[in-house]
Structure 1
Amino acid sequence: MSFLTLQDGTQIFYKDWGSGRPIVFHHGWPLSSDDWDAQMLFFLGKGFRVIAHDRRGHGRSSQTDTGNDMDTYAADVAALAAHLDLRDAVHVGHSTGGGEVTRYVARHGAGRVAKAVLIGAVPPVMLKSASNPGGLPMEVFDGFRAALAANRAQFYREVPMGPFYGFNRPGTPMLEGVVGNWWRQGMIGGAKAQYDCIKAFSETDFTEDLRRIEVPVLVLHGEDDQIVPIADSARLSAKLLRHATLKTYPGFPHGMCTTHAEVINADLLAFIQG
């Protein structure tokens, strides 16, 4: 097992498999690098070097009670990229990880990043405000915090059983293994860090970061995403990015990298090789 110890003593767990051009995967809340199994095995088999880390406070990394914010998450990625001396890398982020990718590429990626991919990602900003009338109201995120604090174990069953993978949609079969794996990943992380991360993914404004990114960015989003609604995320991000390609999927849920891995993997490969 590989760990990088940061300047503040936080230990970041990471996987680094294979050789060749590096692809770095950034997971969503409240999960871990294990959420990328289907992508890492696929791209490893295609001859790429695949890397994924557990964000601070998540998975096997230190259960931090401080630094659980996007600036620190991006700085942690920068430290890992320097440690591994990553060049010509492609950074792929899902959900909260898409926010992490956006901030990292905009502020730290010069000379190291060739392309980026945002999948079901939270930018530009999720929270509803006068300047973002299409966002979600604060009550939604306060509800997340209350549910996590009251009974995290139960909350982490309800999210994957319902909207995350679209298992609440009529005719969609429940995949118990997928639900259990989501629960497992969430529960090995730290409650305080995951609680703080709700503010990080919902209130951080990535508008200027998106405008600063100069590399090509592929924006993928499920049109039936119940966690990060497409109208106030991917469609706006694609307009702010300088070199964006937007692709949407009718009926696909937030967790489409798992439920429709073969489709997503093929589109990622075409973009990376293009």
Structure 2
Amino acid sequence: MGTITTADGTEIFYKDWGAGPPIVFSHGWPLSADDWDTQMLFFLRHGYRVIAHDRRGHGRSTQTGDGHDMDHYADDLAALTSHLDLEDAIHVGHSTGGGEVVRYLARHGRSRVSKAVLISAVPPLMVRTDANPEGLPKDVFDDLQHQLAANRSEFYRALPSGPFYGFNRPGVESSEAIIENWWRQGMMGGAKAHYDGIVAFSQTDFTKDLEKITVPVLVMHSEDDQIVPYVAAGPKSAKLLQNGTLKTYQGFPHGMPTTHADTINADLLAFLQT
């Protein structure tokens, strides 16, 4: 574990375990590198070097008031990969982290990257527009900001208790430990970063970024994702990518790397070994 300081003075916390081919994990909103613990331990056992950082304003990184947009997220990731001098890295991004990976690849990463994986990821665009009628209305994201500003702690209990992990679906057994871990990670970060991050993950258009990417990319998305709708995300991203493969899941939630780690880890490993 260590830290780097970016050009604008933001301290980024990261974990770096093991040796072998490097896998870099980018977490979802409003979480931290800890959300990847299961994946990091799994791939560490399989001979990989595993790296995950806390996005600016999240987890143990600086609670800066500025730079909560995809360009800064991508540049921070580039600073980390440069500091660690990574070559032929595999980048894995979940949700907002998938947007971070896409913007990083488009801006910085092709010379250092061998493959990438987007899991329940926000690209190409979440918000509804004339060109993106399958997206969600802007009012949805305005309401998220309203709930965060009104009572962040309460909001950070409600989201994982319901749609994030699919615990609101009939017959799905809830896990208090998973809910509490989500709340813990969220409350470690800064309210300003999380508030601004809602705009970043919902209104950033990644269409041109996806079209630039040449490395093989696995796009993993569930048709029952209640946070990032399948019809507006996974299939569209895979189609825009030059070398994209879509893996569709049935009945899995947005947070499937946690609730269905065995399946997700096995599919990730198979992709990495091809």
TM over 0.5, shorter chain: yes
- Normalised by the length of structure 2, the TM-score is 0.99
Q: Which residue of 2 aligns with 1:24?
A: 24
Q: In 2, Cα distance between the equivalents of 1:185 and 1:36?
A: 12
- Say what the alpha-carbon RMSD is for the aligned residues: 0.5
The answer for unaligned runs of 5 or more in structure 2 is none
Q: Which residue of 2 aligns with 1:143?
A: 143
User: Could you tell me whether the CA contact under 8 Å between 2:122 and 2:201 is conserved in 1?
Assistant: yes
User: Could you tell me whether the CA contact under 8 Å between 2:58 and 2:193 is conserved in 1?
Assistant: yes
Q: One-letter code of the match for 1:264?
A: I
Q: Which residue of 1 aligns with 2:207?
A: 207
Q: Which residue of 2 aligns with 1:84?
A: 84
Q: In 2, Cα distance between the equivalents of 1:50 and 1:223?
A: 29
SS of the residue aligned with 1:110?
helix
Q: One-letter code of the match for 2:265?
A: N
Q: Which residue of 1 aligns with 2:104?
A: 104
Q: Which residue of 1 aligns with 2:122?
A: 122
Q: In 2, Cα distance between the equivalents of 1:249 and 1:86?
A: 31
Q: Which residue of 2 aligns with 1:162?
A: 162
Q: Which residue of 2 aligns with 1:192?
A: 192
CA shift for structure 1 position 187: 0.2
Q: Which residue of 2 aligns with 1:238?
A: 238
SS of the residue aligned with 2:235?
helix
Q: In 2, Cα distance between the equivalents of 1:5 and 1:108?
A: 18
Q: In 2, Cα distance between the equivalents of 1:10 and 1:238?
A: 33
Residues 192-226 of structure 1: per-residue CA shift (max 9 Å, x gap): 01000000000000000000000000000111100
Q: In 1, Cα distance between the equivalents of 2:7 and 2:236?
A: 36
CA shift for structure 1 position 110: 2.4
Q: Which residue of 2 aligns with 1:67?
A: 67
Q: One-letter code of the match for 1:18?
A: G
Residues 136-193 of structure 1: per-residue CA shift (max 9 Å, x gap): 0010000000000000000000000000000000110110000000000000000001
Aligned residues: 274
Q: Which residue of 2 aligns with 1:5?
A: 5
Q: One-letter code of the match for 1:67?
A: G
Q: In 2, Cα distance between the equivalents of 1:242 and 1:39?
A: 27
Q: One-letter code of the match for 1:258?
A: T
Residues 54-88 of structure 1: per-residue CA shift (max 9 Å, x gap): 00000000001000000010000000000000000
SS of the residue aligned with 2:93?
strand
User: Could you tell me whether the CA contact under 8 Å between 2:110 and 2:215 is conserved in 1?
Assistant: no
Q: In 1, Cα distance between the equivalents of 2:98 and 2:237?
A: 11
Q: One-letter code of the match for 1:152?
A: R
Q: Which residue of 2 aligns with 1:218?
A: 218
Q: Which residue of 1 aligns with 2:270?
A: 270
Q: In 2, Cα distance between the equivalents of 1:166 and 1:119?
A: 16
CA shift for structure 1 position 39: 0.3
Q: In 2, Cα distance between the equivalents of 1:129 and 1:35?
A: 31
Q: In 1, Cα distance between the equivalents of 2:59 and 2:77?
A: 15
- Normalised by the length of structure 1, the TM-score is 0.99
Q: One-letter code of the match for 1:14?
A: Y
SS of the residue aligned with 2:245?
strand
Could you list the runs of 4 or more consecutive aligned residues of structure 1 that deviate by over 2 angstroms after TM superposition?
none
Q: Which residue of 2 aligns with 1:260?
A: 260
SS of the residue aligned with 2:15?
strand
Q: One-letter code of the match for 1:135?
A: G
Q: Which residue of 2 aligns with 1:95?
A: 95
1:183 maps to 2:173 = no
SS of the residue aligned with 1:247?
strand
The answer for unaligned runs of 5 or more in structure 1 is none
Q: Which residue of 1 aligns with 2:42?
A: 42
SS of the residue aligned with 2:162?
helix
SS of the residue aligned with 2:148?
helix
